[in-house]
Amino acid sequence: MLSTDAVMSAASDLLGNRLGGQPHLSDPEDLGGSGSALVLRARVATNPFLHERTVIIKQLPPESLSGPDPALVREIVAYQFTNSLANESRPGPVMLAYDLDKRLMVTTDAGSVDNLIDVWNTSSDDDKAKLVRRLGTSLGRMHRATAGAEDDFATLLRRMMSRAKAGRELVVARGRVLTDAIDYGLSMVGKLGVSVPAEVSDFAADSSRRLASGQHRAFTPFDLSPDNILCGNHRITYLDFEWAGFRDVTFDVACVIAGFPQYAEGTALNGELSRKFVDAWRHEVSGMWPNVLNDERLRARIVTALVGWSLLSLAILEAGGLTALIDKVRFTTDSGEDNASAGRAVGTKDSEDSDLDRSVDFRGQHILHGRARTRDQLVIRRDIIQTFEALGALAERGQDPRFPAVAAFSREVCTAVRNLERSGS
């Protein structure tokens, strides 16, 4: 078990080595953390080298496997990359110091502000409209500020992986598991007895391609879970960069519209709120990508991303969440990793080919088998229905000749999931 006193002492030493002096940290507050990580808020005594009054300390547990955790490496690189952005475009806190060997990070404190869930649940309709516009603006600024800088991010990641001597195969597999999960989602739909029309298969294939390559790419945390989005009075702050990287930006747009498919208790936006959110987002990015002003072209891109998210979320929820998905990839690859290649640097794209066995066992919670036996299963099924309903509604509002098949497919999936509660098993 991680000791708070030991973590506080290590963080103080780390800040002193990085910034100078010997900062005194006190009054630790446990903020909770994903998995067995320890996340603390600590007060900083007056110090000429550190002007922050409080800092956030994140300590990951000792490694149970050989080699550094690629999720930690990616998070550190994401902070290195975003530290260089202008304040108005920076998506998250500033990283003050890190120690990869000790699995320790110290960042600035975003403050004691409510997350998106809490703000949403207590907001009036007018306040929700303002909130989605703020969210669209903040995402758009991040996308605009980072578009075209993918090579810089890849260079930082490659250097860090080389320094960490992390296995290339594990990094590549972790990067491509999202596209594998889309395929798994298709198989889950098939087991529900729903036929997948050619139009949906084509959209799914295109969404996989856009995750790995394409024109409209920028930095994104990707895991835009509402509990990782802090809504302060003056800015929106995104936390948790374990999945951060460069991807097609419309995946972020689709994620918000559908109510954060990877998060089981999110709320999808209705048509009017979706429009306000998208308008705010494209106001920020249209100078760089003028074609987002074409409503039908943009809708087709968002439908593509939302088909991907709908299928991807099935695999994520089945596995038990994105963090559990990391563990499944790590487990699958660790036993077969070639030690001779463990020190090779990762390529510039997450989609780089590898000889690694592609099989990842997504099975876990059996979310689509028989009647729900727990409240969690019911919540997950409602979330699945909500996601596919959002996909269907978006397709129904468009003019693309492929959209009717997508809308019909979405309705069939929703019906099949509801019918599970009527089954006898």
| Centroid of chain to Cα 65 | 24
Is the CB of residue 137 less than 8 Å from the CB of residue 280?
A: yes
Amino acid residing at 362: F
162 membership: H or E segment, kind and range = helix 150-164
Question: Which candidate, 418, 404, 392, 388, places its Cα nearest to that of 314?
Answer: 388
Spell out the domain ranges in the chain: 116-422
CA gap 108, 127 in Å, rounded: 28
Is the CB of residue 25 less than 8 Å from the CB of residue 42?
A: yes
| pLDDT, position 318 | 86
pLDDT, tens digit, 9 for 90 and up, residues 300-343: 999 999 999 999 999 888 888 776 766 665 555 454 433 333 33
Residue carrying structure tokens 């703020």: 134
Residues 6+ positions from 272 with CB-CB distance below 8 Å: 129
Residues 6+ positions from 298 with CB-CB distance below 8 Å: 250, 278, 282, 291, 292
- What string of H, E and C letters represents the secondary structure of 53-99? CEEEEEECCCCCCCCCCHHHHHHHHHHHHHHCCCCCCCCCCCEEEEE
Radius of gyration of the chain (CA): 22
pLDDT, tens digit, 9 for 90 and up, residues 225-246: 999 999 998 899 999 898 899 9
Residues 6+ positions from 148 with CB-CB distance below 8 Å: none
DSSP code of 234?
S
Q: How confident is the model at residue 354 (pLDDT cuts 50, 70, 90)?
A: very low
**Mean pLDDT value across residues 389-409:** 97
Q: How confident is the model at residue 358 (pLDDT cuts 50, 70, 90)?
A: very low
pLDDT, tens digit, 9 for 90 and up, residues 241-273: 988 999 999 999 999 999 999 888 889 999 999
| Centroid of chain to Cα 404 | 29
pLDDT at 40 over 50: yes
DSSP code of 49?
T
| pLDDT, position 344 | 33
Residue carrying structure tokens 């969210």: 135
Is the CB of residue 76 less than 8 Å from the CB of residue 100?
A: yes
| pLDDT, position 173 | 61
pLDDT, tens digit, 9 for 90 and up, residues 153-187: 999 998 888 877 655 555 666 667 888 889 989 99
Specify the pTM.
0.88
Beta-carbon count within 10 A of 421 CB = 11
